Structures are given as structure tokens and as C-alpha cells.
Amino acid sequence: MIFPLKITFLLAWLAFLPVTPASGQSVDRILLEAGNFRHEFGDYRGAVEAFALAIDINPDFALAYNNRGISRAMLGDDQGAIEDYSRSLEIDKNYSPAYLNRAASKYNTGDYYGAIADYGEALKLDPENPIAWYGRGISHLQIRYFIGACEDLNTALDLGYYIAKDLIEEHCR
């Protein structure tokens, strides 16, 4: 769904206001929500634009960088997504979702060692995250480190990520 031009201009105009009186929310937060809305409806380019406006207003908005990275990845721009996740982590080094997202984009670009490192950082922050265990496990499979892969995939399964079961049966017996 693409917003009509009027709404796009309205969002650009809102970028110059410090706070909207009706909601009390800052404009950067409103633009973040607009980007999230556009992303949810598959308008990834519109989402990137909305997140970029939020970043223009607040250059230290880690969540906006992360979310723009997600939309960029959906557009096939994993390198641009990695840049956004990295900027998000420069702002907030403890933001686990940015490590997960950057790891996924690194995996998609064939940087399996980089993905393993980022999944490891995410696990330091959130050791109970089954997606991080699974992601690191499949990254280990790509470099043919089966012992690490099987350990990580089994941990993901133990944490309830049942999609790991098929890979365990295929590679870990």
C-alpha cells in the first residue's frame, strides 16, 4: 500500500514540528510509527522514507535505524541494512534485535563468520533467545562446523524453536 502524495507531504511537514499537541508524541516517534505502519503493509520504500525522516529529526534514534534496516533488507538491500544496524548499535550497543537483524543480513550476503559473531553478541544479551541459537546454528552449518551447529540447534529446540528439529535430524545424528 502506498500512501497518497498528500500524506507524504504531510509527514514531511510534520518533520519540522517539535511535538504534535494532540498526542504529545514527538514527531520522530510519529514518523517511526508511520514507517512501522508502512512496513506492515508491505510498503517498504515508504517505510524507508518515513524512518529516514525520523532519523533526520533525531540522528541518535537507534530504533529508527534498526527498523529502516529491516525495510531495506526486505527490499534486498542487505548491505544498506547492515549499515543501519551498525549505526543502531553505535548508538545503543545493548540493543539485541539489531545484532540479530545484522546477523541475518550478514548471513544473506554470505558473511557466515560475521553472522556467527553477531548471533553470539545477541546471545550475550539474551541467552534465552531461540532465534539467535538457531541462526548461529545454521551459520555454523554453512561453514561446516557441525559440532557447534548441532549444539546451537539443540539449544534452539530446547527453547521451543521446533523448526530446528529437521536440521538436527539431518545433520546431527
Domain locations in the chain?
1-93, 112-173
What residues have CB less than 8 Å from 98, skipping those under 6 apart? 62, 65, 66, 69, 85, 88, 89, 92
Grid coordinates belonging to 87: 549505526
The per-residue pLDDT for 25 is: 79
The per-residue pLDDT for 173 is: 81
Would the CATH topology of 1-93 be identical to that of 112-173? yes
What residues have CB less than 8 Å from 110, skipping those under 6 apart? none
CA–CA gap between residue 20 and residue 4 (Å, rounded):
21
Where helices occur in 92-163 by DSSP H, the ranges are 96-108, 112-125, 130-142, 146-158
CA–CA gap between residue 164 and residue 105 (Å, rounded):
20
End-to-end C-alpha distance for the chain, whole angstroms: 46
- Hey, which bits of 3-119 come out as E strands? none
Q: Flag whether the pTM goes above 0.75.
A: yes
Which residues does residue 19 pair with via DSSP β-bridges, in sequence order?
A: 26
Please tell me the number of Cα atoms within 13 Å of 147 on its side-chain side: 0
Q: Which fold has domain 1-93?
A: 1.25.40
The per-residue pLDDT for 22 is: 54
**Residue 95 Ramachandran class (φ > 0 left, ψ -120 to 50 alpha, else beta):** beta
Buried/exposed 88-121: b ≥16 CB within 10 Å, e otherwise: bbebeeebbbbbbbbbbbbbeeebbebbbbbbeb
CA–CA gap between residue 29 and residue 65 (Å, rounded):
13
pLDDT in tens, the chain (173 residues): 344 443 444 444 444 444 444 556 799 999 999 999 999 999 999 999 999 999 999 999 999 999 999 999 999 999 999 999 999 999 999 999 999 999 999 999 999 999 999 999 999 999 999 999 999 999 999 999 999 999 999 999 999 999 999 999 999 98
Q: Which fold has domain 112-173?
A: 1.25.40
